[in-house]
Amino acid sequence: MASSVQQPWLLLLIVVLPAVAANPIFDENYAPTWGADGYHLVDQGIEVRITMDRNSGAGFGSKLSYGSGFFHMRIKIPGGYTAGVVTAYYLSSDPDSGNHDEVDFEFLGNVDGKPITLQTNVFVNGHGDREQRLGLWFDPAADFHDYRILWNPYQLVVFVDEVPIRVMRNMTGRVPEYEFPAKRMRLRASMWDGSGWATDGGRTKIDWNRAPFTAAFRGFGVDACANTSATPCGSPDLWWNARRYRRLSAQQRAAYENVKNTYMNYDYCTDKDRFANGNVPPECSYD
Q: Does residue 102 carry a catalytic annotation?
A: yes
pLDDT score, position 17: 59
**CB 199, CB 108: distance < 8 Å:** yes
pLDDT confidence of residue 18: 63
∠ CA(63), CA(68), CA(74), 5° rounding?
60
| Catalytic residue from among 28, 47, 102, 177 | 102
Q: What are the b/e assignments for 273-284, b being 16+ CB within 10 Å?
A: eeeeeeeebebe
Q: What is the pLDDT of residue 95?
A: 80
What is the helix (H) or strand (E) element at residue 262, kind and residue range? helix 250-262
Q: How far apart are CA 181 and CA 160, in angstroms?
A: 20
| Helix/strand/coil percent split, the chain, to 5 | 15, 35, 50
Integer CA distances (angstroms), 103 to 13, 85, 194, 258, in order:
22, 19, 18, 22
Q: For residue 193, how many C-alpha atoms fall within 13 Å in the half-sphere facing its CB?
A: 14
- Annotated catalytic residue, options 106, 162, 179, 283: 106
C-beta neighbour count of 8 within 10 angstroms: 11
The DSSP 8-state label assigned to residue 133 in this structure reads E
Cβ-count burial 35-74 (b if 16+ within 10 Å, e if not): beeeebbbbeeebbbbbbeeeebbbbbbebbbbbbbbbbb
The pLDDT of residue 15 is 40
Kind and range of the H or E run holding 113: none
The answer to whether residue 106 is catalytic is: yes
Please give the Cα distance from 97 to 94 (Å, whole number): 8
Which pLDDT score is estimated for 22?
57
Strands (E), 181-252: 185-193, 213-218, 223-226
pTM for this prediction: 0.92
| Cis amide leading into 212 (omega within 30) | yes
Which residue numbers in the chain have pLDDT < 50? 1-15, 21
152-171 pLDDT tens trace: 999 999 999 999 999 999 99
Q: What is the pLDDT of residue 23?
A: 74
